[in-house]
């Protein structure tokens, strides 16, 4: 049977599992919010530990934090508190954060969860009894010194978002872009027919088509960098409402500098703490850029899905790797599963943007946004899905994809839009008549031109040269 200990907060006593590092306020939140079973992502908890570490260092260096030593810089309890915060940042106490995402809108429950875990772990590391009501390191007075949930929780969201974009999403996108660019280079000599409105158009090279995809990915990298840069301003130092009550004037700037040094990301203190506490516009902008990345990935995956359709009755201009049987009733059928996976996960990200946008617009009332835990969970989910989806798409689709050169080139001569290159020679109206006659008779544009002796053979050969049609001509 579970053993319990008694913990106390401002509302009275609470029974807490005896082996838990968290305390009364965490337990109240566990009981109050039995909603989804979703916890804040590990990356968010890690960022909260990192923020607590930075806050502790700033308070120590400002001479504000003296617990058990002669000075803040020579204090074993301060050292224990910083070590406990580092453990949270490193994910070593991951099972101690049980609160549901759909909790108090400021994130106070999760902020106190982190404070309590650091308090009890630091007390234990310093040789004290974490079961005792008297803590050597207090969750509010020491771990939360100079802070409010209202500035540190959104600071942690920004830190987690920027780190995950920088360390996870951007490397994935760069890898996909490089792979796509390499395919474009490999397939530069493969002529195929273009399509607009899903209808036959003029020729292009398969390498040009994939070069377009590569450029889409290059622009997605730029947008992901903008998403990262949109959350570099940190609210920390604003405390409850942006006024900075109960904190040192240098606190916010020092914390931002420490976080920058620890992460290598250029965080900065908010220009205006009243804006930074109250609004999550930067987070909305950040996810908006991620939404654009998602729709690009959806588009690329869908185009590749179409190009690989077949194998006999579709386009089948690229051969997608066979990953698994595609039907429980049709033997031998293989589906473009990696494209479908990418399209589903990016649809989720695009949907997430609505939740983030609504939370930013309606959640920010006066001095506080009250939808921050959901925003944290949602944006970090989006980054996670994009990063994992991109790596899987590269591993199991792009790297093994092959050009079907024979199929690409076979359709070129049949396109009615081959007549486009005749416009400068015979005019649009006559070219259009040729296209209609070719369609009705089943003949190619070249065959009709020869029958009707419309142009000399040499001129006709140059005009209907598919390679020439893939580039501008003087």
Model confidence over 303-347: pLDDT tens digits?
A: 999 999 999 999 999 999 999 999 999 999 999 999 999 999 999
* Higher-pLDDT residue of 324, 473: 324
Q: Are residues 135 and 260 in the same domain?
A: no
With cut-offs at 50, 70 and 90, classify the pLDDT of residue 160.
very high
In total, how many domains does the chain have?
3
Residue 395 and residue 377: Cα distance in Å, rounded? Answer: 27
Residue 372 and residue 362: Cα distance in Å, rounded? Answer: 12
Q: Are residues 421 and 388 in the same domain?
A: no
CATH of the domain at 283: 1.20.200.10
Q: Are residues 223 and 249 in the same domain?
A: yes
Q: Are residues 294 and 355 in the same domain?
A: yes
Place of tokens 């395919």: 183
Structure tokens at 443: 């003949």
For this structure, is 327 an active site residue?
A: yes
Q: What angle do CA 128, 136, 26 make, to 5 degrees?
A: 95
Q: What is the pLDDT of residue 133?
A: 76
CATH of the domain at 455: 1.10.40.30
* Residue 125: how many other CB atoms lie within 10 Å: 19
Q: Are residues 136 and 177 in the same domain?
A: no
Q: Are residues 114 and 175 in the same domain?
A: no
Of 327, 417, 431, 440, the catalytic one is: 327
Residue 453, domain extent: 415-466
Q: How far is CA 320 from the centre of its chain?
A: 26
C-alpha dist (Å) from residue 472 to 206, 400, 421, 435, 469:
17, 32, 11, 22, 7
End residue of a domain, out of 382, 408, 434? 408
Of 10, 197, 328, 440, the catalytic one is: 197
Q: Are residues 213 and 186 in the same domain?
A: yes
Q: Are residues 84 and 108 in the same domain?
A: yes
Q: In the predicted model, is pLDDT for residue 364 greater than 90?
A: no
Identify whether 472 is part of a domain: no
For this structure, is 248 an active site residue?
A: no
* Residue 70: how many other CB atoms lie within 10 Å: 8
Q: Are residues 132 and 208 in the same domain?
A: no
Identify whether 15 is part of a domain: yes
pTM attached to this predicted model: 0.96
Q: Are residues 259 and 364 in the same domain?
A: yes
Identify whether 404 is part of a domain: yes
Identify whether 162 is part of a domain: yes
Q: Note the residue count of the chain.
A: 474
Q: In the predicted model, is pLDDT for residue 251 greater than 80?
A: yes
Q: Are residues 272 and 379 in the same domain?
A: yes
Q: For residue 368, list its beta bridge partners.
A: 365
Identify whether 74 is part of a domain: yes
Residue 34 and residue 39: Cα distance in Å, rounded? Answer: 11
End residue of a domain, out of 92, 125, 145? 145
Asked whether 375 and 360 are in contact (CB, 8 A), the reply is yes
> pLDDT (tens digit, 9 = 90+) per residue, 18-74?
999 999 999 999 999 999 999 999 999 999 999 999 999 999 999 887 766 566 666
End residue of a domain, out of 145, 173, 194? 145
Q: Is 338 helix (H, G, I), strand (E, B) or coil?
A: helix
397-400 long-range Cβ contacts below 8 angstroms, 24+ apart: 397/304, 397/320, 397/321, 397/336, 397/338, 397/339, 398/176, 398/179, 398/180, 398/183, 399/179, 400/320, 400/321
Identify whether 474 is part of a domain: no
Q: What is the pLDDT of residue 132?
A: 79
Q: Are residues 331 and 424 in the same domain?
A: no
> pLDDT (tens digit, 9 = 90+) per residue, 386-404?
999 999 999 999 999 999 9
Structure tokens at 358: 């609504």
Q: In the predicted model, is pLDDT for residue 357 greater than 90?
A: yes
Q: For residue 145, list its beta bridge partners.
A: none
Identify whether 471 is part of a domain: no
Asked whether 260 and 293 are in contact (CB, 8 A), the reply is no
Q: In the predicted model, is pLDDT for residue 256 greater than 70?
A: yes
Identify whether 333 is part of a domain: yes
C-alpha dist (Å) from residue 353 to 223, 349, 387:
15, 6, 17
């Amino acid at each position: 049977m579970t053993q319990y200990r008694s913990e106390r907060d401002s509302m009275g006593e609470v029974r807490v599992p005896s082996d838990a590092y968290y305390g009364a306020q965490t337990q109240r939140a566990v009981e109050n919010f039995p909603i989804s079973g979703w916890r804040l992502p590990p990356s968010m908890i890690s960022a909260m530990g990192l923020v607590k570490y930075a806050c502790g260092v700033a308070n120590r260096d400002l001479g504000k934090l003296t617990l058990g030593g002669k000075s803040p810089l020579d204090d074993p309890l301060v050292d224990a508190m910083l070590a406990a915060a580092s453990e949270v940042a490193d994910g070593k106490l991951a099972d101690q954060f049980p609160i549901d995402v759909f909790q108090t809108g400021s994130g106070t429950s999760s902020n106190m969860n982190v404070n309590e875990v650091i308090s009890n772990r630091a007390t234990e590391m310093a040789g004290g009894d974490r079961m005792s009501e008297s803590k050597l390191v207090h969750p509010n007075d020491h771990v939360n010194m100079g802070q409010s949930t209202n500035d540190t929780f959104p600071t942690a969201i920004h830190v987690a978002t920027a780190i995950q974009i920088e360390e996870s999403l951007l490397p994935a996108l760069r890898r996909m872009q490089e792979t796509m660019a390499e395919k474009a280079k490999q397939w530069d000599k493969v002529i195929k027919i273009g399509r607009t409105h899903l209808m036959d158009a003029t020729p292009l090279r398969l390498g040009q088509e994939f070069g377009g995809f590569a450029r889409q990915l290059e622009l997605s990298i730029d947008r992901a960098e903008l998403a990262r840069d949109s959350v570099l301003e940190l609210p920390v130092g604003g405390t409850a409402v942006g006024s900075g009550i109960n904190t040192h004037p240098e606190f916010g700037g020092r914390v931002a500098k420490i976080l920058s040094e620890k992460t290598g990301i250029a965080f900065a203190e908010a220009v205006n703490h009243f804006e930074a506490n109250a609004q999550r516009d930067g987070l909305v902008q950040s996810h908006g850029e991620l939404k654009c990345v998602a729709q690009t990935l959806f588009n690329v995956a869908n185009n590749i899905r179409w190009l690989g359709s077949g194998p006999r009755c579709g386009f089948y201009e690229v051969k997608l790797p066979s990953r698994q049987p595609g039907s429980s009733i049709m033997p031998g059928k293989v589906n473009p599963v990696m494209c479908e996976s990418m399209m589903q996960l990016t649809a989720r990200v695009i949907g997430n943007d609505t939740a983030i946008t609504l939370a930013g617009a309606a959640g920010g009332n006066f001095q506080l946004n009250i939808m921050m835990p959901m925003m944290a969970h949602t944006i970090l989910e989006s980054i996670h899905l994009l990063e994992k989806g991109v790596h899987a798409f590269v591993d199991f689709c792009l790297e093994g994809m092959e050009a079907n050169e024979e199929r690409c080139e076979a359709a070129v001569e049949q396109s009615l839009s081959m007549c486009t290159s005749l416009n400068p020679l015979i005019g649009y109206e006559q070219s259009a008549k040729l296209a209609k006659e070719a369609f009705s008779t089943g003949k190619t544009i070249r065959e009709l031109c020869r029958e009707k002796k419309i142009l000399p053979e040499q001129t006709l050969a140059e005009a209907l040269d598919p390679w020439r049609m893939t580039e501008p001509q003087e």
